[in-house]
Structure 1
């Protein structure tokens, strides 16, 4: 989130065009865009995200964005982001950083002061006494440090320090939203409790250490990173599971051991009615038996072929005939 963009979105004048959207609606969309802007004052929230933030339908969102572009407050940067690379990246126009704004105003103030304009003299009480020493461009006096003497008057200058001293780029609330938008079936709470979660977090931070990405973009990519990691560890766990023995071990899904499946497959391949119905072309008994064995491992086919299985000696509850 860009604090400069948010402050700008609150303060910027919004024109009211006849027949256009109301100012509160435009302000709400602008604030939602600013809330997701990076340090470059660019953002690319999806229409569904803007709709969720503002409570407006998609048609209204498109209309308001078009009006904000016409008002000269935002523009299409020409870039595209998102997994499909089709989400428009908007640039907020006119946002000025606090440090930059302070430098401009400070220069203007010093220029006025050098002209010795009597209207700005301390004699008539129009300039706070402290300003004649600090030459600050702000309306309130500026003091170095966070002294209790100036209270909250220099809060706007402290905000820049706050934004630079953030402890972490990661916001779990935003990460939860990105995971949910990508895959609703994933249990986020379980995901962040996995034993490999912090390992993947460290790897992701190292991988992106040299990239100049805003917090929201880092969270977006980290969501994809976690989903890929989840799939990777699930595949690894599945591959590490011991394979079932084929030496007569009973198959829990069918109630038949691999040996019994092979026996019944051979009998069914030689059953006149069954073979005439399920054999393909010039298929040999051995080839047909091999196909039957694969399908007999499936409980659905076992139930489907139960009449034939009983005819060749299968007894329910016992497997092979006594």
Structure 2
């Protein structure tokens, strides 16, 4: 805990922006960060810790952190801490006091006396007293200084405001589950943002960690890719010939049915005992099942289990 950081946080004057968070809430988050700052005025409390400290919801805390960065009170140092090395390390900007050690001190050498006892690296009494009044400076070669910190020069990962979403991690999960070609299709898809909004709404109340969010979103996108490809294939077939489907049958489950029955099958004792992996949670199993159900052939094979959990009708399977 840094007393200087806490005093500094109390003295800050927050900015009220149109559509932004209330000033008292912003100060409360800043105080929570300052309460965990060390001698270098760096801190890395987890989002869950800040939520517990402030009694705000996760989205509000994340929004306020973004505003504090924009207002110049904190910066993301780029370092990561914690057990998973994913917790961001923030630096409080402008803290000064007894614990502040200036990184650079410049003296006026115009009237230096070579024989003076004050010549060299030892400052005078007045200069020493000024040490505590200096605001910590950031070295000129720091990545947090200059035009390299402008939005247009940031990487795609840094531009991403949704802190749970890691494009690098997401790409790794997709390539592990499919192949490079499918990954390229998903990355360049026009429907990516639409599916992202749907996924966040679907998981809004689940309070999953960032790693699980990326894991499930990869499965969600793979499933969505199959869904959109099936639609394109159906459109292409309809332009050449009309395919008659027997009454009471359908080519594949709807998107809503896929996710509903995936959840039910993950809880089905007989089904789960056969298909669940060791140590796999219900949510992880449901995500894998949803990907499989998007394939008409696989869905047809599992039709007996689907009927046991409430599916009505009959699946046609492969065309």
The question of a shared fold, defined as TM-score above 0.5 by the shorter chain, is answered with no
Larger Rg: 1
TM-score (normalizing by structure 1): 0.32
TM-score (normalizing by structure 2): 0.32
